[in-house]
């Protein structure tokens, strides 16, 4: 049995006991102590009872007075019983508040606090201002283009160029979601800065071809990638109003 269950059982026991006390006190106050303690008991041997005396006297025409019914409890007894009832009821109210209402209110507050903390700690994707990401991309534009134009084979250069967008976005503080692939993350970043969509699509196709195909990529593929990258750089941040003062190759 848990502590909470034991507490509830104790409260229930106290309440039931108190109710019994109230009922008994009310009953005693209503009939008085003489009614509670009264008992006729057996008549002594040879002693005529009231009924026998009445029957014997009936023939003689003698009238026998019937004893008066006992009076109710004195006023002070009734007042005392009322005070006991009020005290018990007040105690029940206090017990209910102490072990019922107060714990319920505290529990509700703790649940609300836990919900607030859970909501605050949920990991939602943070949408950084597009201008911040655009500035980082434009600041790295010349290096990105040079690596694509001069770096290694066309296949490696195209793959490195695409991954460069991830590096730029991370430097701007835009984290990659655990559910996102590399391509999904890069597409989200380029969409955030309103890059030219056809150029993004073309560069993405070249990246997938370089990343997953088995045939060799040629210098023509490299040039297509350069043309798409130049278009992306020219359109990055135009809607967001990015202004870095960095010259972008045309």
Q: From first to last of its 250 residues, what are the pLDDT tens digits of the chain?
A: 555 666 666 666 766 676 677 666 666 666 555 555 555 555 555 555 555 554 545 555 555 555 555 566 677 777 777 788 788 777 777 777 777 666 777 777 777 777 776 555 555 454 456 888 999 999 999 999 999 999 889 999 999 999 999 999 999 988 888 898 888 999 999 999 999 999 999 999 999 999 999 999 999 999 999 999 999 999 986 654 444 444 454 5
Q: What are phi and psi of 16, to 5 degrees?
A: -60, -45
Please name the residues in contact with 137: beta carbons below 8 A apart, sequence gap of 6 or more: 165, 168, 169, 172, 193, 233, 236, 237
Residues counted in the chain: 250
Contact (CB, 8 A) for 32 and 72: yes
Other CB atoms within a 10 A radius of the CB of residue 228 amount to 25
Neighbouring residues of 83: CB distance < 8 A, sequence distance ≥ 6: none
CA distances from 245 to 81, 141, 167, 213 (A): 93, 12, 21, 38
Alpha helices in 65-181 (DSSP H): 75-96, 102-121, 130-139, 141-150, 154-171
Instruction: Choose among 127, 129, 125: nearest CA to 240.
Output: 129
CA distance 126 to 173: 9
């Amino acid at each position: 049995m848990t502590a909470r269950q034991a507490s509830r059982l104790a409260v229930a026991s106290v309440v039931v006991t108190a109710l019994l006390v109230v009922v008994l006190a009310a009953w005693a106050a209503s009939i008085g102590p003489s009614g509670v303690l009264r008992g006729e008991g057996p008549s002594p041997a040879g002693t005529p009872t009231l009924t026998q005396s009445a029957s014997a006297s009936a023939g003689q025409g003698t009238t026998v007075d019937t004893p008066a019914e006992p009076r109710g409890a004195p006023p002070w007894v009734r007042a005392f019983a009322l005070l006991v009832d009020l005290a018990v009821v007040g105690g029940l109210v206090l017990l209910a508040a102490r072990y019922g209402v107060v714990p319920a209110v505290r529990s509700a507050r703790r649940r609300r606090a836990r919900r607030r903390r859970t909501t605050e700690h949920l990991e939602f994707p943070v949408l950084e201002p597009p201008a911040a990401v655009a500035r980082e991309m434009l600041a790295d534009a010349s290096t990105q283009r040079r690596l694509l134009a001069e770096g290694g084979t066309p296949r490696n250069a195209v793959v490195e160029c695409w991954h460069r967008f991830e590096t730029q976005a991370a430097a701007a503080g835009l984290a990659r979601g655990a559910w996102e692939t590399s391509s999904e993350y890069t597409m989200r970043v380029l969409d955030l800065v309103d890059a030219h969509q056809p150029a993004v699509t073309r560069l993405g196709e070249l990246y997938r071809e370089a990343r997953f195909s088995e045939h060799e990529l040629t210098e023509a593929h490299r040039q297509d990638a350069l043309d798409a990258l130049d278009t992306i750089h020219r359109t990055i941040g135009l809607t967001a109003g990015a202004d870095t003062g960095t010259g972008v190759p045309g």
